[in-house]
Amino acid sequence: MKMKKKILDILKRRGIVYPSFEIYGGASGFYDYGPIGSRIKHNIENLIREYYVIWEGCFEVECPTLSPEKVWIASGHVKNFTDMLTECLKCGESYRADHLVEEHLGISCEGKSIDELYELIRGNEIHCPKCNGTLDRVYHYNLMFKTEVGHPGKIWYLRPETAQSTYLAFKRLWEIGRKQLPMGVLQIGRSFRNEISPRQGMIRLREFNQAEIQFFVEPEKKFSERFHEVSNIKAKMVTKDEKEVVTSLADALRRGIIKIEMIAYFLGRSIQLFEEMGIKRDSLKLRQHKDEERAFYSSDTWDIEFVSENLGRIELVGISDRTDYDLRAHMNLSGEDMTVNYEGKKFIPHVIEVAYGIDRPFYCVLESCLVEEKERTYMKFPRRIAPYLAAVFPLVNKDGIPEKSRGVFELLRKNRVYTLYDQSGSIGRRYARADEIGIPFCITIDYDTLEDNTVTIRDRDTKEQKRVKIDEVVDYIVKV
Ligand code: GAP
């Protein structure tokens, strides 16, 4: 079985992730996180939260996902947040014109205009992949979902990024933060993009999760006091003029490959963060956006990509210098003064943004942690990511063993340990199920437990089993 199929199979069978609206035929670009998936997703989000709130001293905010049209006019999204679309004149199916041409001709379409793309489609006789019909002219298609709130005719949009809602409250946060720079603000939440025929499962969703951090900084001070903590990290890097180098972040900065120290710093922190999630460092690549590919609000962007065995390059995080573009834009349209008086200077702060997706790292964690052995498949999740730390199994469902097992389960729960109770099927099958969802410890209660108050604890990775006293179980699995 191919890895991708194997992962998809485990995702569905074990209730990790599955298509939304399934009983009505489903819809591409929408997925449910099931009971196991939700636990893993929260763990990923909590790792990010911990990094930025504890380590970087960021505030965390939560803002609405819907916002009035003015927000998106000011931000430039109404005008610029578009993809290039072509439709089949026969069956009506829509396609991203650049993707279609790239698939057919094997060339890069970055920076191509709508006219150039249409010429390539016509000149190379590219037809509708579904019905072979003729494709229409290429046009700009806005990716935001539009709706109305209250009065008919009042246009609102679902946010395509969390960032804007953070910017809107800048002045309030500035006061709350006692007027200090840099000031970091994290927001974890849903974003929405009306992606054209998304076909890559969880990688391109129409409703997805982001964890975005906005660092408000002095325009001339895009440094980090703690860069030395990550400066020796080595990585593969691809610059905007396609030069490939493998070097340390310190060397990249020295040689001007990466120009902004704060960007280099957060590239380093993000590599550490992804490693902590279980993603292997050597499957990551740093890539600078080319001028024609960079978002309209950014003066420099670096991504970290995961090189997937199944799905090719997957962008996990984008780190951008957004300058004062957004605050200035909102100041101009709303009339709210976004300038600050800081250390004797008056200016609009610049923003360094660290924008993580959650769903893509989620998939990449699964791909990285999947281990296939001769007689079993398991997820080698780091403990912080595993959906449960332990599973409790009564060996049999009689002779007082279920009652004793419930006691162990309660003990773990009282100690705030996420624990699964599983009493059905043979012990072998229960181990297999726990392995597939990456539970680090399985605790079996048997006849000896009734005699001497000890249980068997099996380690997921080594399969080693140890006898441990019940009152030492919590310490054992938390500390080992
Ligand atoms: N605020 C900046 C911003 O939104 P982005 O590169 O468009 O930048 C940031 O998005 C991250 O969000 C990406 O690196 C990716 O992980 C995730 N992301 C973007 N579009 C997505 C989609 N359609 N489905 C799933 N994740 C997506």
pLDDT in tens, 325-341: 999 999 999 999 999 99
Q: How far is CA 195 from CA 18, 90, 115, 380, in A?
A: 19, 21, 21, 33
Q: What is the mean pLDDT of the chain?
A: 96
Dihedral of CA atoms 271, 313, 33, 418 in degrees, nearest 10, equals: -30
Instruction: Choose one of 207, 296, 315, 356 to mutate for the ligand 1 pocket test, by most ligand atoms within 8 angstroms of C-beta.
Output: 315
- 5 contacts: CB under 8 Å, gap ≥ 6: none
Instruction: Choose one of 81, 158, 166, 208 to mutate for the ligand 1 pocket test, by most ligand atoms within 8 angstroms of C-beta.
Output: 208
Where does 193-279 show beta strands of DSSP type E? Answer: 207-217, 234-238, 244-248
Ligand 1 atom at minimal distance to the Cα of residue 356: 11
**Cis amide linkage into residue 382, ω under 30° from 0:** no
Instruction: Choose one of 205, 360, 365 to mutate for the ligand 1 pocket test, by most ligand atoms within 8 angstroms of C-beta.
Output: 360
The pLDDT-based confidence of 30 (bands split at 50, 70, 90) is: very high
Task: For the domain made up of 388-479, give the CATH fold.
Answer: Rossmann fold (3.40.50)
> Which residues surround ligand 1 with Cβ inside 6 Å?
161, 163, 193, 195, 204-205, 208, 210, 212, 315-318, 353, 355, 357, 359-360
Residues 271-320 have pLDDT tens digits of 999 999 999 999 999 999 999 889 999 999 999 999 998 889 999 999 99
Q: Could you tell me what percent of the chain has a pLDDT over 90?
A: 93
For residue 299, the Cα-to-chain-centroid distance in whole angstroms is 23
The pLDDT-based confidence of 9 (bands split at 50, 70, 90) is: confident
Give the Å distance between the CA of 421 and the centre of ligand 1. 37
DSSP state, residue 290 = P
Rounded to whole angstroms, the Cα distance separating 338 from 352 reads 16
* Nearest CA, atom 21, ligand 1: 204
Domain boundaries for CATH 3.40.50.800 within the chain? 388-479
At residue 151, the pLDDT reads: 85
Give the Å distance between the CA of 211 and the centre of ligand 1. 10
β-bridge mates for residue 213, sequence order: 186, 354
In this structure, are residues 215 and 262 in contact, taking their beta carbons and an 8 Å threshold? yes
At residue 197, the pLDDT reads: 79
Rounded to whole angstroms, the Cα distance separating 134 from 86 reads 10
Give the Å distance between the CA of 401 and the centre of ligand 1. 49
Ligand 1 atom at minimal distance to the Cα of residue 357: 16
Rounded to whole angstroms, the Cα distance separating 326 from 71 reads 10
* Nearest CA, atom 17, ligand 1: 357
At residue 2, the pLDDT reads: 56
Give the Å distance between the CA of 356 and the centre of ligand 1. 7
Q: Would you say residue 6 has pLDDT above 90?
A: no
Q: How far is CA 167 from CA 64, 186, 187, 214, 385, in A?
A: 13, 11, 11, 8, 31
β-bridge mates for residue 288, sequence order: 302
Q: Would you say residue 160 has pLDDT above 60?
A: yes
Task: For the domain made up of 2-79+161-369, give the CATH fold.
Answer: BirA Bifunctional Protein; domain 2 (3.30.930)
3-state helix, strand, coil in the chain (%, to 5): 35, 30, 35
Q: Would you say residue 3 has pLDDT above 70?
A: no
Give the Å distance between the CA of 201 and the centre of ligand 1. 14
The residue-averaged pLDDT of 250-262 equals 97
Q: Could you tell me what percent of the chain has a pLDDT over 70?
A: 99
For residue 344, the Cα-to-chain-centroid distance in whole angstroms is 39
The pLDDT-based confidence of 347 (bands split at 50, 70, 90) is: very high
Give the angle subtended at the CA of 191 by the CAs of 187 and 194, to the nearest 5°: 165
Rounded to whole angstroms, the Cα distance separating 222 from 215 reads 10
Residues 215-236 have pLDDT tens digits of 999 999 999 999 999 999 999 9
At residue 300, the pLDDT reads: 96
In this structure, are residues 101 and 107 in contact, taking their beta carbons and an 8 Å threshold? yes
Residue whose entry in the numeric block shows the structure tokens 């392995």 = 435
Q: Select the more confidently predicted residue: 480 or 159.
A: 159
Task: For the domain made up of 82-142, give the CATH fold.
Answer: Herpes Virus-1 (3.30.40)
Look up residue 355 and give its amino acid. A
The pLDDT-based confidence of 403 (bands split at 50, 70, 90) is: very high
Q: Find the distance separating the first CA and the last CA of the chain, reported in whole Å.
A: 34
At residue 199, the pLDDT reads: 77
Domain boundaries for CATH 3.30.930.10 within the chain? 2-79+161-369
Q: Would you say residue 153 has pLDDT above 90?
A: no
The residue-averaged pLDDT of 176-182 equals 96
Domain boundaries for CATH 3.30.40.230 within the chain? 82-142
Ligand 1 atom at minimal distance to the Cα of residue 163: 1
Give the Å distance between the CA of 191 and the centre of ligand 1. 9
Residues 436-445 have pLDDT tens digits of 999 999 999 9
